[in-house]
Structure 1
Amino acid sequence: MKTWNWGSAARRGARVALAALALWGMLAVAPNAARAEASVPEPAGYRMEDYRAPTPATLQGATIVDTATAERLWRAKSAIFLDVLPRPEKPANLPAGTIWRDKPRPHIPGSLWLANTGYGALSPDMDAYFRRGLETATGGDRAKAIVFYCLKDCWMSWNAAKRALADGYTDVLWYPEGTDGWAAAKLPTELATPFK
């Protein structure tokens, strides 16, 4: 005759109940988490402040690429990569004799660094620099694939990609993970020098 072990049955029942509650909790939380990520709307214009903040999941007119896609494009040399991370300027009021060293910028090898071109508003000189950089990088072909990036949760690349679209470039790609995603995938980098 088989005896029933109430203790183990109760434990099994408790485990099943806990698993069901955990699953229900995951289902209840998952849509909220997805809504939180999708809740950053695309602004009508450029982002003008707080550039290091969550970005939208989209950019109208552009193609969004993840790290695997960016790597494929880079390895195939089928797109131009433009880094738009700002470069800290040397302060004008440094005491005499102060040594200023630029912070190294490791970026995707072969990229063109158009430093400081991702701000929401550009001075006429900076706007001309941005346009000249795009012209140089593409050889004047506005249909060439261009990947814009900086860092994760950085509006600079979003703004720059939007600006390129407004300037008539037709194959604009935005890589929102930037060098953070690239480095996390253990892909190679090189030290950047700003375009002149």
Structure 2
Amino acid sequence: MRPSFGRAVRLRPTSAIVIVGGLALALVLAGGQAPAAAEPVVSEPSDYRLDNYRAPVPATLAGARVVDTAGAKALFDAGRAVFIDVLPVPPKPKLPPGTIYRQKPRFDIPGSVWLPDVGYGRLNASMDGWFRDSLARLTAGDRARDIVIYCLADCWMSWNAARRAVAWGYTSVIWYPEGTDGWAFEDLPLERRDPEPRPEETGG
């Protein structure tokens, strides 16, 4: 069963830390409530993530550069990087005959390319080849070209896909872990995007 990829909500900080006399005092700004517990530190695994793809991700990816939304926006403004969305496409549900089905629209970083399903922990030969060929096409065979790979916030799909690009010899892989959730949170522009046809849809 494929995972559900709902929208993550990022909250602005509600507490601050002040150092007084060498002691850290937490000043809670939300009506005296205790500060929220810090998110657990996630260690970078030694292999691809195989399940539970919508969960907290590590802060690092060996061989790749990690950027926040400001860094992704700078790359977008420079206009030289290839932005690749790897959000999976939900499978079409079983519906009664004659039912009209419309997939929920995806709003994406302008000019990006949506390569769905390439972030699973294991890819069959067809999908593996399709991802390799797509990267070669999008970079015009230049493995030093900046590639920004993303999905949603807390999405291991983007981590897996970026790790694959690194393993295949791309030397300027940039992982954007906040993805379109972080982009939208900063009110940056989005445009409607359709996924690139997968091999199963083209007979490949």
TM-score (norm 2): 0.78
> 1:102 & 1:195 partners in 2: Cα distance?
14
Per-residue CA deviation, residues 7-43 of structure 1 (Å, 9 max, x unaligned), is xxxxxxxxxxxx97xx64439x99x83xx54x21111
Aligned to 1:151: 152
Output aligned runs, 1:8-157, within 5 Å: 24-26=24-26, 33=38, 36-37=39-40, 39-91=41-93, 93-157=94-158
- Unaligned runs of at least 5 residues, structure 2: 1-18, 28-33, 198-204
User: Comparing both structures, which one devotes a greater share of its residues to strand?
Assistant: 2
Mapped partners of 1:171, 1:68: distance in 2: 18
CA distance in 1, matches of 2:137, 2:103: 25
Which amino acid in structure 2 is aligned with residue 26 of structure 1? A
Looking at structure 1, the residues matched to 154 and 114 of structure 2 have their Cα atoms a distance apart, in angstroms, of: 18
| Runs of 4+ in structure 1 over 2 Å off | 23-27
Please give the alpha-carbon distance, in whole angstroms, between the structure 1 residues aligned to 2:71 and 2:169: 23
Q: CA deviation at 1:136?
A: 1.4
Structure 1 stretches lacking a partner, 5+ long: 1-18
Confirm or deny: 8 A CA contact 1:133 1:195 kept in the other structure. no
Identity, % of aligned positions: 58
1:145-182 CA distance string (max 9 Å, x none): 00000000010100000010111111000000000000
Match of 2:9 in 1: none
Matched residues, number: 171
Return the alpha-carbon distance in structure 1 between the equivalents of residues 75 and 167 of structure 2: 23
Q: For the Cα contact (< 8 Å) 1:65–1:174, is it kept in 2? A: yes
Q: Distance in 1 between matches of 2:133 and 2:42?
A: 31
Q: CA deviation at 1:131?
A: 1.1
TM-score relative to the length of structure 1: 0.81
**1:8 corresponds to:** none
